[in-house]
Amino acid sequence: MLGRRNQQRSFFDAQSLPHCVPADSFYGRMGAVSETLFRDEDLAGMYCPDNGRPSIPPSLLSGVLLLQFFDDVSDGEAVQRTIFDLRWKVALHLRLDFPGFDPTNLVHFRGRLVEHGQERYAFDRLIAVGRAAGFLPDKVTLLVDTTAVGGAGAVQDSYTLLRKGVRKLLKVAGFHLPGKRQGLSPESQRLVATYLEQDRKAEIDWSDGQQRLNQLQTLVADAEAALALVTPEMDNEEVRLAGWLLTKILGDDIELDKQGRSHLAEGTAEDRIISITEPEMRHGRKSASRRFDGFKSSVATELESELILDVADMSASDGDGRELLPTIERVEQQGLTVERVLSDGAYPSGDNLAGCATHPGQPIDLVAPLRRGPDPEVDKAAFEINLAERLITCPCGHQAVGQPARDRLGRPILKFGFARPVCAACALFEDCVRSQSTGRTVTTHAQEVYLQAARQRQETAEFQELYPLRSRVERKIAELAGHGLRKTRYRGQPKRQLQRLWTGAAVNLKRLFTLAEAKGIDLVAVLATFTPARATAGRA
């Protein structure tokens, strides 16, 4: 049942007694708005209305959760701070003798937020408060970028992935229960005992290549035997997912030689599983020299107010630009209109440029540089392409006629091919042509007209003036990182997203305090007149 905060003041309230917490600190400012920052009735739908013991007030737990992400502390430490840290007592309006609560209450509260679709509660509420205070215009300019985020699971090698994959499959199929093993063949009994009665690597000399190869044969054979053993259980969704996971590991990490022996595959599969404990973790790159393991986080801030308007969990293997259009959609669900986006060269793909140019309501101005290859003199951008006449002119003045074709999505494109003798006689031949048998080929994008317009635009003075403003999002990402954004606490996408959003909410609250002071706005008054209906009005 919903518990509510007691509004009756006590002589022992931290706010009622002299204290040394500065009024202009984050904790002092949060204490000034604490009574109206979060409301119990906002989250009443997460609790039974008329049965059970009263819960810890969700307004209090929301405040604790916000401070937890602001200070980047564990559940246990967060509870300890409500008991012993005067800054937290002031920020949350707690009594000096507040006894605390069990840390598992925070676990259950986060679970309720996710279960009831309220993981955006604090984030959306503070954005709406920013709008009500006049800090956000109706039409906004977004600054977007991503950052690498470490995962909560252990990164494991192929041998460990196979061993733990077999163990997980057998366990979810129920073979850890004695009754499930009855009637199994001796070989199946050995398989189950090997992987469920212990969990450690084989005792071999791992520096010996032949012993590692022999162990790999054993692991692959056992994985295939485990998949065969649980085939009758595949109607169970949990078993099916564990079976898919093990099958994917075999497909990504293992290849057969001509003799049919298993070997570790050369290279790395694009979407390779790297952890059994957190199967959604991936290898990722922010540059050719910087690899990371885990996830990415996409961040979008508003140009003038510097409030964070969106923060989202992404796969580490996804390109940064894949999240652009979904980011715009989420921002506009808050009742805002995006009129311009500033981003780096990872975002202006043909599809993103087209999506912004044809955005419903009004076009969105995507200001971002198109990347060029290592040799700009012979890059595709150096070729003049006349789409109307299907004619291309190379940097040395040679021309070719395009042939209609289709891309992998079935969309119409043009393919241009220059004759080999023409290219061979050109001074740029060595740098321009990679083929051993044909001349240079150039393929257009299905959205080539938008790419051409973007290339022309980035040479203008207007572009040179606007683009440097994008760097402001990087300092906001650095601020989020200081509050723990780059360390994933939880497993599973909903809880990861909750962490991203509440960290963003904590940073936004700090920014709201700064904006309110600079503009002479009384946030207490704004929050006092602010209702949940206004918070959701723009999302209908």
CA distance 299 to 532: 25
Which of the listed CATH numbers 3.30.1330, 3.40.50, 3.30.420, 2.40.50 matches domain 133-152+283-369+471-540? 3.30.420
Kind plus residue range of the DSSP H or E element containing 254: strand 254-256
Amino acid sitting at position 366: L
Per-residue pLDDT tens for 158-210?
999 999 999 999 999 999 988 888 889 999 999 999 999 988 899 999 999 99
Backbone CA torsion sign across 13, 16, 22, 25: positive
Spacing of C-alpha 536 from chain mean position: 24
- Between 48 and 82, the higher pLDDT residue: 82
CB neighbours (10 Å) of residue 3?
A: 17
Q: What torsion, rounded to 10 degrees, do the Cα atoms 145, 148, 310, 23 define?
A: -110
Burial class, 381, CB count within 10 angstroms (exposed 0-12 / middle 13-18 / buried 19+): middle
Residue that the structure tokens 């503009």 belong to: 519
Per-residue pLDDT averaged across 119-123, rounded?
Answer: 96
Distances (CA, A) of 176 to 184, 194, 219: 13, 11, 19
Q: Which two tokens stand for residue 517?
A: 């002071």
pLDDT at 11: 62
* Closest by Cα among 120, 41, 25, 42 to 502: 120
Amino acid sitting at position 509: L
CA distance 10 to 377: 75
* Closest by Cα among 54, 74, 55 to 64: 74
Q: Judge contact between 515 and 131, C-beta under 8 A.
A: no
| Beta-carbon contacts of residue 61 (< 8 Å; ≥ 6 apart) | 105, 106, 109
pTM attached to this predicted model: 0.90
| Beta-carbon contacts of residue 457 (< 8 Å; ≥ 6 apart) | 463
Lowest-pLDDT range of 62-76, 91-105, 280-294 = 280-294
Q: Which two tokens stand for residue 402?
A: 């395009």
CA distance 278 to 281: 6
If pLDDT is split at 50, 70 and 90, which confidence band does 100 have?
Answer: very high
Residue that the structure tokens 């808050």 belong to: 334
Q: Which two tokens stand for residue 488?
A: 């994933």
Per-residue pLDDT tens for 136-148?
999 999 999 999 9
Distances (CA, A) of 231 to 181, 184, 237, 239, 373: 15, 14, 12, 9, 49
* Closest by Cα among 310, 300, 301 to 333: 310
If pLDDT is split at 50, 70 and 90, which confidence band does 259 have?
Answer: confident
Domain boundaries of the chain, sorted by first residue:
1-118, 133-152+283-369+471-540, 158-264, 376-457
Distances (CA, A) of 171 to 85, 157, 196, 322: 44, 21, 7, 36
| Beta-carbon contacts of residue 281 (< 8 Å; ≥ 6 apart) | 151, 153, 155, 273, 274, 275, 293, 294, 295, 316
Distances (CA, A) of 7 to 35, 53, 178, 495: 9, 19, 56, 31
Per-residue pLDDT tens for 413-452?
999 999 999 999 999 999 999 999 999 999 999 999 999 9
Helices (runs of H) and strands (runs of E) counted in the chain: 20, 14
